[in-house]
Every structure is written in C-alpha cells, then in structure tokens.
Amino acid sequence: MKLKFFLVFFLANTSFIFAQHNNPQYKKINIEHYKLTISLNDSTNIVDATMEIQLQFKQNTPEFYLDLVGKDSISETGMQVTSVFQNSIEVDFKHTKNKLTILPKHNFQNLTYTYKIKYSGIPKDGLIISENIYGDKTFFGDNWPNRAHNWFPCIDHPSDKATVEFIITAPNNYQAIASGFMAEETNISQHLKLYHFKTLVPLPTKVMVLGVAKFAVQNLGEIHNIPVSTWVYPQTKSEGFHDFEIASKILAFFIEHIGEYPFQKLANVQSKTRFGGMENAGNIFYFEKSVTGKQEHEDLIAHEIVHQWFGNSASEIEWSHLWLSEGFATYLTDLYILEEKGEEAFVERLKKERNKVLQFYKQSPTPVVDGLKTDFLQLLNPNSYEKGGWFLHMLRDKIGNELFWKGIKEYYNQYKFSNASTNEFKKIISNVSNKNLDTFFNQWLIKTGHPQIKTSYIYHNNKLRLTVEQVQENTFEFPLEIELIYTNGTSEVKQIEVLNKNYSYEIDTKLNVKSINLDPNTKLLFEEVN
C-alpha cells in the first residue's frame, strides 16, 4: 500500500518481536471460507446481503463473535442482522458494540459448521458507495486495515485467513471485478447481471475486495500463465491503458526474483480507494487521479505488485509487524528501480527514504515493531515503509546479494498463504546466512532510533586518527565506510566497525588527507551531527 500522494502526513523490549495474538477469537474459531451474496443498485445505497461462513471450533464454547458494524440510529449507516442459521437451524444472536455474538446450538472441535447470516444496511465504511470524478456511481471495497467488518461479518484481523466467494448482483450498465477468478457471469433479467468470483487460496480480510463501476477493460495477455488486465474509467481509457501496460514487465521481474505469483490474475484498477494504491489480492486499486497517460507511477505499481507476495500471501501475524508488508514492498521496489533505471536512481531513492526516517523520528521516536498502536492507520508511517526498507537494504549488504535473495525466497516459500512475525523472518535469514542476527534485528527493528554520529579526526604521518561518537540514547553496532579524500583529488574508502558509544580508530593512509566523507556508498541508516 502507498498512502495517497505517497505519504499522508515504547518500549525497547525484545518481546515485541514475537507474535501478539490480538485477535480475541483466535483460540475459539478458525474461519475457513466466506461466501458473500450481495445486491447493489442505483436507486439506494442500501445493500442486501447473505454471508455464509464455514468455520471450525478450536474449543467448545457457549458463544463466539464476528466483527460487524451495527446500524447507527443517528447516521442510519451500518448493518442490521435479521437472522442467523447454524447449518439449517436458526440460532440466537446478539448484535451490540459492532460485535455479532452467535450462540451455537452445539459445537464440536475440528468439525466444520456453516453459519448463514442475513443482513442489510448502508455501509458506514469499507464498501465505498459514491460517485467517481466523472459523476458516475461506483461501488469499491477498501478494507485496509480492519474496515471489512463495515460491510460483511468476519474476523477482521490478518491472522485469520480464509478463501472467499463474491456473488454480486448489480445493474447491467456496470462491470464487476472481485477477488479470485470469475466462475459465472449471467444476465438474470433485462436490467440485472450476476457475477460470481472465487478464490482458490486463503486471504486476510484486508485484501478481499470487489469493485463495481463503468469500466474500460484491456487484457494485456499472460505473464507466466497469469492474465494481466487494466480496468479504468471509460473517460480515461487511452491514458489508463498506456499507464498500466508496464505492469506486465514489473510482474515478470518479481516472478523471476521471488517465485511463482500467488493469485489467479493481476488486474490494475482505477478506483475510489483512499490510498495512493491498495494491494487487494489480484486486484490492485489505485487512486482516481493516478491515471495521467504519462506512466509516472511505475514505482507505485511495482510497490503494489510486490504486496501480492508480501502482505497478501505471506502476511504479518499482527499489525505491529506491518513492516513485513510495507518495508518489503518499499525495498523490493527500490531493487526493481535499480534494475530498470540504474544505480543513480536507486541511490537517490535510498537517500530520500533515509531523510523521511530521520524526520519522522524527530516527530515520533517509536520502534518499527510497534505493539502499542491501537489505531492501525498510525502504523502507515516511515518506520513501516522506509525504515523497514532500509533495514532490508542493510541486511542485503550484511549477508550479500545472493544470500539475501535466497532468504527472501525461503521466507516466502515457508509462509505463503500463511502468517509470520519478525522473529520468524529472522530465524530464516539467520539459517540461510549462518549468522547470529539477534543484535542486528533488535537494534534496528525493536529498539527506537538510529545512529547519530559525531566525528573528528587528526591526520599525521600517513595516519588518520578518527574519533566516532554516537550521541543517541541506544548504542548501535554497525560497519561504517569512510571516504578519505586526498589533497591530490583522489580518494579511497575504508571501513571500520563501530561497536561502542565513543571510540578512536587509527587508519593508515596513502597520501595527505584533505577531508573525509561518511557512508559514500549509501549503506547505512544514520544521521551525521556536528
């Protein structure tokens, strides 16, 4: 995900590296499948829906609940449940405080039950029913982070993944797109059409989606047997088709570097998402004005395509580990830019990303793995994106490019269609590299801050005596490259290992030193202070 226009703007305890199960239903139930039948219309924003949920009980329980926003008597938005059935038996329920509590007739561990929930209402959020910039009515899902329960009952948490079906009835002047492949498209009357979509692999609710609008559609062919398509408003047909044709090239790059694409299609969709891009599984939604005809959002498209692997398929177990989605998308996009546009463009991006991290720290000195945030939108910050990306950049330098990609692939293969924590990623990278990375992970992800470096030096008799002082609270351990710039205009790079708050180094030199330059190759997340 990228925030619209790319950014809308603790505890230093290692326990935060482990998964936190803030899903209260985690120990009670496991949802296996959602089947949502929903009717949309032009005359009203009210949706009529039936949700069938297949779930297993992990323990015997007198009740369990699903997340669902209830009807608000003031705004008249929210959902009103009329009945709940367990298999074919009607059961009692309570719907208060945005929780649909269901009282099962019986439940046995490891058996699958089907619950059918009938409800209707005007979605308060999540399913955005409005008009696009051209005045045409649209229906767009926009679930991230936990807004899906505004329009369908669910466990609205990334740790509870399930397959999903969408059966959509809508006026036939619209087209529909949704998660999965299209199993059916039928004209059911003179004015109505039915669409049926199914996924074959489990998804977190945050990336389950449907979109219903007037579209111009272009099929771009297949990349490694994955159909790629563009869905834009008819008014921006030529511009949109041009903008999104680069998706095929980007998809091919990441399939080559990461592995098999996890979903049945890749559709790039102009939409009403509140974000710059929203990585819905197989159906990426972009903000309306992203379509310009200038192909100026190549990095945004790359970012959202990376999410298909990291975030959608291999998902964070808890919101606090969001960097496993956003940091990955940020840095792997940087590596795509390196391949496509060269070293200079790559370094320029790294420097801009570093500056965002440094500026954000001044406003909010928090760790990357931040278990204290309860408003998950606040996690969409430079810690999750740019600092997470910079962590991967330093990791790649630490273990080498070959082992880095090997580790990325191994991590994905082990956790695809599942969930992982920072600690689980660390274990895989440690095994692949045969290195103890505890300190490395802890200082960059679990603790706050970054090295703030003050240097001084004296040059005498072909020796440079360099003093490096860390002025921040936490002590970091890191390699630091020093460029020695000589009086004759030449230079060379030396590397030292910084292990203490304050230490002096003696460096042999070839010629007279005119000045020094820290981190000439842009390898370190740091701040130079006077």
Q: What pLDDT is recorded for position 462?
A: 87
Helices (H), 133-202: none
Domain count for the chain, please give it: 3
E strands along 203-298, which residues? 210-213, 216-223, 226-232, 266-270, 277-278, 283-286
* The pair of three-digit structure tokens given for residue 4, joined into one six-digit string: 């619209």
Report CA torsion sign: 14, 17, 18, 23: positive
Is there a single domain that holds both residue 388 and residue 460? no
Residues 353 and 470 reside in one and the same domain: no
Indicate the average pLDDT of the chain: 95
Q: Is the same domain home to 416 and 476? A: no
In a shared domain, residues 415 and 480: no
Length of the chain: 530
pLDDT classification of 24: cutoffs 50, 70, 90: confident
Q: What is the CATH number of the domain that holds 48?
A: 2.60.40.1730
Cβ-contact 275, 293 below 8 angstroms:
no
Least confident window among 26-30, 239-243, 305-309: 26-30
Query: Domain for residue 296, yes or no?
Result: no
User: Are 99 and 144 within one domain?
Assistant: yes
For residue 214, being part of any structural domain is answered with no
Is 90 exceeded by the pLDDT of residue 9?
Answer: no
57-94 tens-digit pLDDT: 999 999 999 999 999 989 999 999 999 999 999 999 99
Report the CATH number at residue 518: 2.60.40
The residue range of the domain holding 483 is: 452-528
- Residue 14: the pLDDT is 37
In a domain, 308, yes or no: no
Q: Does one domain contain both 63 and 84?
A: yes
Residue 144 pLDDT class (50, 70, 90 cuts):
very high
Clarify whether residues 65 and 171 are in a common domain. Answer: yes
Answer whether residue 13 shows pLDDT above 70: no
> 441 with 459, same domain?
no
d(CA 20, CA 22): 6
| Domain co-membership, 424 together with 483 | no
Assess whether 337 and 458 both reside in one domain. Answer: no
Whether residue 344 is contained in a domain is answered as yes
Beta bridge partners of 467: 456, 504
pLDDT band at 25 (very low <50, low <70, confident <90, very high): confident
At position 6, the amino acid (one-letter code) is F
Mean pLDDT of 382-393: 98
Q: Is the pLDDT assigned to residue 11 strictly greater than 50? A: no
**Does residue 116 lie within any of the structural domains?**
yes
List CB contacts of 74: < 8 A, sequence separation 6 or more. none
457 and 441 in a common domain: no
Spatial distance between the Cα atoms of 445 and 368, rounded to a whole number of angstroms: 5
528: Cβ–Cβ under 8 A, 6 or more apart, which residues? 453, 454, 455, 518
Q: Looking at the domain assignment, is residue 246 inside a domain?
A: no
Q: Which of 205, 239, 256 is the last residue of a domain?
A: 205
Please write the tens of the pLDDT for every residue from 149-196. 999 999 999 999 999 999 999 999 999 999 999 999 999 999 999 999
Asked whether residue 371 is domain-assigned, the answer is: yes
What is the separation, in whole angstroms, between the first and last Cα of the chain?
Answer: 36
Of 446, 468, 493, the residue at which a domain comes to its end is 446
What pLDDT, on a 0 to 100 scale, did the predictor assign at position 500? 95
| pLDDT band (50, 70, 90) for residue 10 | very low
Which residue type is seen at 229?
Answer: S
Proportion of the chain above pLDDT 90, given as a percent? 92
Mean pLDDT of 504-517: 93
Question: Which of 428, 446, 464 delimits the end of a domain?
Answer: 446
Cα–Cα distance, 386 to 1 (Å, whole number)? 13
**Strand ranges for 257-325 from DSSP E:** 266-270, 277-278, 283-286, 314-316
284/281 Cα distance (integer angstroms): 7
- Whether 290 maps to a domain, the answer reads no
Statement to judge: residues 395 and 484 lie in one domain: no
pLDDT exceeds 80 at position 5: no
